[in-house]
Amino acid sequence: MERPSLLDVPKSEKKFFRRFVKFYAVLLLIFLSFILGLIAGRQTYKVVSDSVDGEKMGVVFNKKAKPDFLSNKVNFNLFWDAWEIIENNYVKQPVNETELFYGAMAGSVAALGDPHSVFFDPDTSKEFTEELKGNFEGIGAEIAVKNDKITIVAPLPDSPAEKAGLLSGDTILAIDGADTSGMSLDFAVSKIRGPKGTEVNLLIGRNGINDPKEYKIIRSKIKIESVKWKMLDNNIAYLELRYFNEDTDAAFKKAVMEIVQKNPQGIILDLRNNPGGFLDTAINVTSEWVENGVVVYEKASDGSLKENKSTGQARLKDFPTVVLINGGSASGSEIVAGALKDYKLATLIGEKSFGKGSVQTIFPLDDGSSIKLTIALWLTPHENLIDGEGILPDIEVKLTPDDFNKDKDPQMDKALEILLKK
């Protein structure tokens, strides 16, 4: 049944609805003002061409110019004027007010300019919750915005994305033919995810390869088994963490207990292509090595630091440990790796991590939608910023596409070499 127009409902209901969206609409108006400000600002720039060694050089003036209207008080009636103009005059009628409403909220969050702060409509919010539980349907790849491009953080092990050949650091240039330039992260995620058995076409760019390549990937049910471990030759325990989700704590504690009983010569903790997850889970994992002290700091907008201290028994602190990281190690993985590096409880081998070091909190709304909002930045125990910087390995060892295709793992080889010398 078609939803009635906002202009057709009684005044009392209309007033209630306006109050309901007022907060979010103000944010949207600020966002629109910001965009208009950029346009107006650019129109005031004066570019002068000069010649230096035969080359033209541009000089930009008025970089700090700020349009006057950005300093004015906001008249909220302007939002309703815009709403009614759209509703009454847009060429494709009737206008879907629900989409307009959720679009206002999404635009408000997007105005922050933070790729990790996202508005989720009720359906997307449910999908995100399912992912944190370790279940969702899609291609099985963590994505983020890096250098203004939709980027593969990590394909999950045994996922359609990994089987298709996607690699950490790949950029998604188009999704089913739609150019991703300027595309929001949440919209890209919604286009890539879909029911099991359906196909999505991704145009992928890769460093070192000139021409983009199209990948046709069949979506599947993704079940993330976050913890795996086994004993290798020479009494080395290999412990792989794929994610920090709801089932990680229990599975990790069980693995630690079993590893301790084996009394290994050393431990390899593999955090490669682990895109992160819950903060508390990352702290609990780190606490099996760090007996006392700060695991990670949260730096708030006012500059204050909140300490997140060790919570565990540090049952693994006396075992020589090597941590494997790469460009797909992000978020919670970087918390673990950064703490073990700062406390000199492990040797880090591999490649520089992704550099996603910000704290997001989910704020649920009454209709099932939610806002994932960045509220702080992460610092290692030595107060090194993670966001945008990443964690550097102690020993850099690259794993090339050729290594991957030939099932070679020089990073693992180096880890075994280090531990067998101890």
Tokens for 212, please give them.
């983009």
Residue of 311, 338, 319, 306 whose CA lies nearest to 265: 319
- Whether residue 260 contacts residue 239, with contact meaning beta carbons closer than 8 Å, is answered with no
Q: Does 408 qualify as catalytic in the annotation?
A: no
Task: Identify the helix (H) or strand (E) that includes residue 11.
Answer: helix 11-44
- Per the CB < 8 A criterion, the answer to whether 347 and 394 are in contact is yes
Residue 214: Cβ within 10 Å count: 11
Selection from 40, 31, 80, 79 nearest residue 62 by Cα = 40
Q: What dihedral do alpha carbons 99, 103, 104, 107 form, nearest 10°?
A: 180
Q: 408 to each of 126, 242, 414, how far by Cα in Å?
A: 39, 20, 12
Q: Which are the contacts of 90, defined by CB distance < 8 A and separation ≥ 6?
A: none
Q: Is 356 a catalytic residue?
A: yes
Residue identified by tokens 């007010």 is 97
Q: How far apart are CA 272 and CA 353, in angstroms?
A: 9
Instruction: Quote the longest CA-to-CA distance of the chain.
Output: 79
The one-letter amino acid at 219: R
| DSSP letter (8 states) at residue 211 | S
Question: In sequence order, what are the residues at sequence separation of 6 or more whose Cβ sits closer than 8 angstroms to the Cβ of residue 285?
Answer: 241, 244, 248, 252, 332, 336
The catalytic residue among 170, 186, 270, 342 is 342
Question: Catalytic annotation on 342?
Answer: yes
The single residue of 331, 358, 369, 370 carrying the catalytic annotation is 331
Annotated catalytic residue, options 146, 299, 341, 356: 356
For tokens 């049952």, the residue is: 315
Q: What is the DSSP string of 95-156?
A: --HHHHHHHHHHHHHHTT--TT-EEE-HHHHHHHHHHHHTEEEE--EEEEEETTEEEEEEEP
Contact call for residues 333 and 322 (beta carbons, < 8 A):
no
d(C-alpha 418, C-alpha 422), whole Å: 7
Phi-psi region of 353 (alpha: psi -120 to 50; beta: other; left: phi over 0): beta
Closest to 221 measured CA to CA, from 140, 119, 126, 109: 140
- DSSP calls for 54-66: TEEEEEE--TT--
Catalytic residues: 331, 342, 356
